[in-house]
Amino acid sequence: MAWLTLLDKKIADYLPDMTVAQDEPLSRHCSFRIGGAARRMAFPKNGEQLILLQAFAEECGARTILLGRGSNVLFPDEGLDALVISTEEMDEITSPEPGLYVARAGATLNRLALQACRDGYTGLEFAHGIPGSVGGGVCMNAGAYDGELRHVIEWVEALFPEEGVRRIPCEEMAFGYRHSLLSDHPEAIVLSAAFRLTKGDSTEIRAKMDDLMARRKKSQPLEFPSAGSTFKRPAGYFAGRLIEEADCKGLAVGGAQVSEKHAGFVINRGGATCADVRGLIAEVQRRVYERSGVMLEPEVCIIEK
């Protein structure tokens, strides 16, 4: 593994204070609690370290995979002969002026929503309870309960390997349903994003957040590991309803199961493998297509070994 030796030396020489784990179980770093070990996993503390690390990895010929909070990811059982770069330590949130919040890629959307609530700013209530990071949320225009990040984002700062760091205004981000400009540029890395919120009443904001959380707990299988909604919403349909109509609710493959609480979720009931989840996804797709003629598209990001 020549890349390992080269990369380890580069990190020791130029990034000695950055945390790097060897053969790190990926199941510890994703909400599905599934996945083998990554040969190397690095935790940069800021954008400068991340940019330098990315350059070193390219020089050493290492395959790199960027990871936020792992809330929408399925890792392979065999693990990855790769460098996984986690942004979880890049979690600073600042407010340079009233109503404007700048969050680094690794900050959680939930924490950002809670800080805005404490300060009395409205617009991010829908993000309360979303477990993902700012970076991942920006890439897929995360949303829930009629709210989407595109409604509150002012700009996104991202690293494009061929161009360098760009600050992209919201209107140029091409936001759509579970899509953004960055969906078409998987090589780009979100470093931070700015959110413009409106002054409101903290008590009312908190009440709305509590209501949305109660609705989540009532309708979603939050007591089991999962990656949230497993399938994207097909145009003109609801994925969960199509899955129920195809008699897939409760369907299981190994330790993976279509939730009996919400058919749009595939859950890890205990000991599920990546192979179990992929097999179940394929069977649900087959049955739904056979029943309704609609091919469901996974929303969960499946990482190949």
pLDDT for the residue 162: 85
pLDDT for the residue 146: 87
DSSP string, 179-223: B-GGGG-TT-EEEEEEEE-EE--HHHHHHHHHHHHHHHHHHS-TT
- Asked whether the beta carbons of 208 and 191 are under 8 A apart, the reply is no
Q: Which two tokens stand for residue 95?
A: 């407010």
pLDDT for the residue 1: 61
Residue 233 one-letter amino acid: R
Largest Cα separation within the chain, whole Å, is: 59
pLDDT for the residue 75: 98
- Asked whether the beta carbons of 87 and 46 are under 8 A apart, the reply is no
- For the chain, report the end-to-end CA distance as a whole number of angstroms: 16
* 155 pLDDT tier (thresholds 50, 70, 90): very high
Arch. (CATH architecture) of 221-302: Alpha-Beta Complex (3.90)
List pLDDT tens digits, range 102-144. 999 999 999 999 999 999 999 999 999 888 999 999 999 999 8
Q: Which two tokens stand for residue 203?
A: 């008590």
CA dihedral 78, 81, 87, 89 (to 10 degrees): 90
CATH class label, 93-205: alpha beta
Of 27-31, 184-188, 250-254, which range is least confident? 184-188
pLDDT for the residue 131: 86
Other residues' Cβ atoms within 10 Å of the Cβ of residue 94: 11
* 63 pLDDT tier (thresholds 50, 70, 90): very high
Dist. CA 96–CA 92, nearest whole Å = 12
Residues marked active site are found at: 178, 229, 299
List pLDDT tens digits, range 242-261. 999 999 999 999 999 999 99
- Sequence ranges of the domains in the chain: 2-86, 93-205, 221-302
List pLDDT tens digits, range 191-207. 999 999 999 999 999 99
* Fold of domain 2-86: 3.30.43
* 156 pLDDT tier (thresholds 50, 70, 90): very high
Picking from 116, 118, 81, 89, the residue whose alpha carbon sits closest to that of residue 100 is: 116
256 to 225, 253, 274: CA distances (angstroms)? 10, 5, 9
Q: Which two tokens stand for residue 128?
A: 């309360």
Other residues' Cβ atoms within 10 Å of the Cβ of residue 282: 12
